[in-house]
Amino acid sequence: MNFPNLLLIKSALRVLFVMVFFPLPTVQAQYTASEEYQIIGYEEPALENPATRLGNKLKSGEVSLEYREQRGYLDDLLARLGITPSSQLLVFSPTSLQHKLISPEKPRAVYFNDDTYIGFVQNSNIIEVTTIDEKQGIVFYTFDNTEGTDKYFERASQTCLVCHDTQGTMGGGVPMLMALSSLYSKGNVPLENFSGIGNINDTSPIDIRWGGWYVSGEHGSQKHLGNILLEGYEDVARVEEHRRGNIKDLNAAGLVDTSPYPSTGSDIVALMILEHQLTVQNQITYIKFKAPAVLKRRGLEDYSAVERWQELPQRARDVLPRMLGKLVESLLFIDAAPLEDSFQGNEDYARWFQAQGPADAQGRSLRQLELNTRLFTYPVSYLLYSEDFNSLPGYARDYVHARLAAYLEGRERYPGRQPFSDREREQALEILLATLPGFADYTGLDSAPEPVSNRPFFY
């Protein structure tokens, strides 16, 4: 009998999709948090996030949600949180404490916008909610999906962090979002892990992404691992024979019945955007947790509120670039895997995403999709505008803005690590000058904070 390798077993204990898994209400879990959680006050109520704000309105009666047969409150919840149903992604991996409800016939659905992720499982009495809190970073909730509920959002930190901590069940890390890729059998047994010990991200080759996910959309000759269910472990070596791509309609292809869900696809473009977004948000949360801890351990906690990078003591400026530099590279799509052919996904989703703005007077936006050789048209991420980024310590934003400006003006280069032209960098700079207040202060300078090469993701 063949068994998966240890990395696959580890990944199976975590969750295969971007969302966090949420346990059934009867399950209890123990989790030991690190000092970083205490410093940031993670056990305190999370007050600055979309779930809390909507929950307060529901409790006060200011707004209400309509319960519908089959999906419960899902449709109204998406609308109230500003999430389009066309962002729908379907993942059939059963690696969740709701695994008994998940199968290739009844996949888990994921919906998302810039700051909130919703997970819906058929026949479940909860809806999974992960959102970004300005103070605490990634926070986890369940929403009671039973008719007439008055529970709404309930914090689910202890059980979710058993998997969604960077150190797993050991504790000692920080919260994280996850997007993995593994091949599964038709009996939904994990066979081969392609995520290694981390997440799928911008730099992961497309041909190893999306194992365990349904994928709809066109991608020409480009290969991926979506839509694959094998007979058994012996078929892993012959995976090329089982690849299924360029599927516009999951129903017509006989893959899955999407009628129980508010949308019909599992969009390939949304998947790529989600993977980029996770990478940036994980690093921002990492900085929110680790930077204060690093300063405290060096007796520099009094500098946590400093607004300018150069106002930090040299001891702080010697260590913080490792984590801040990783965020810079994520925002600039450094080492992002190229597309080998043109992509086309759900037009409604692409239209919705690109319309979120902001845009300059010429209508240009960092959200513009390229989809021929790469995901985006311009070399800076739209997440630079997010409340998540803006809630970073002032010195961190100062460092990142200075490095971005240095790159866009040609003072800092990443030879061979990014496909954008000089003109595209200039256009991105023009967009930021028109849409990001204060960014002009970082242009025309003689220098920027020195980058640190070979930056590790974790400390």
Q: Are 266 and 214 in contact (CB under 8 A)?
A: yes
- How far apart, in whole angstroms, are the C-alpha atoms of residue 274 and residue 278? 6
pLDDT of residue 242: 94
The mean pLDDT of the chain is 89
pLDDT of residue 313: 96
Query: Residues 402-414: pLDDT tens digits?
Result: 999 999 999 999 9
Question: Residue 138: what are its φ and ψ, rounded to 5°?
Answer: -75, 120
Sequence-distant (6+) residues with CB within 8 A of 282 are 138, 176, 177, 199
297-306, 357-366, 439-448 — which is least confidently predicted?
439-448
The structure's pTM equals 0.90
pLDDT of residue 192: 93
Quick one: pLDDT band at residue 98, thresholds 50, 70, 90?
A: confident
- Number of helical (H) and strand (E) elements in the chain, helices listed first: 12, 10
- How far apart, in whole angstroms, are the C-alpha atoms of residue 295 and residue 319? 9
For 449, which DSSP code? P
DSSP letters spanning 113-173: -SSEEEEE-TT-SEEEEEEEETTTEEEEEEEE-STT-S--EEE-HHHHTTTSBTTGGG--S
Q: Which residues of 306-327 are buried (b: 16+ CB within 10 A; e: fewer)?
A: beebeebeeebbebbbbbbbbb
Query: Residues 169-222: pLDDT tens digits?
Result: 555 688 989 898 999 999 989 999 998 777 899 999 999 999 999 999 999 999
Mean pLDDT of 321-338: 96
Q: Is the pLDDT of residue 326 over 60?
A: yes
pLDDT of residue 234: 92
- How far apart, in whole angstroms, are the C-alpha atoms of residue 329 and residue 404? 9
Most confident of the following: 11-15, 352-356, 447-451:
352-356
Instruction: Please name the helix (run of DSSP H) or strand (run of DSSP E) that holds residue 109, with its range, or none.
Output: strand 108-112
The DSSP bridge partners found for residue 216 are: 267
Mean pLDDT of 287-310: 94
Q: Rounded to the nearest 5 degrees, what angle is found at the Cα of 67, between the Cα atoms of 63 and 71?
A: 125
Q: Is the pLDDT of residue 7 over 60?
A: no
DSSP letters spanning 302-313: GGTT--SGGGS-
- How far apart, in whole angstroms, are the C-alpha atoms of residue 438 and residue 436? 6
pLDDT of residue 33: 66
Domain ranges (residues) in the chain: 6-242, 275-442
Mean pLDDT of 394-403: 98
Sheet with 190-193, edge to edge strand ranges: 190-193, 182-185, 229-230
How many residues can be counted in the chain? 459
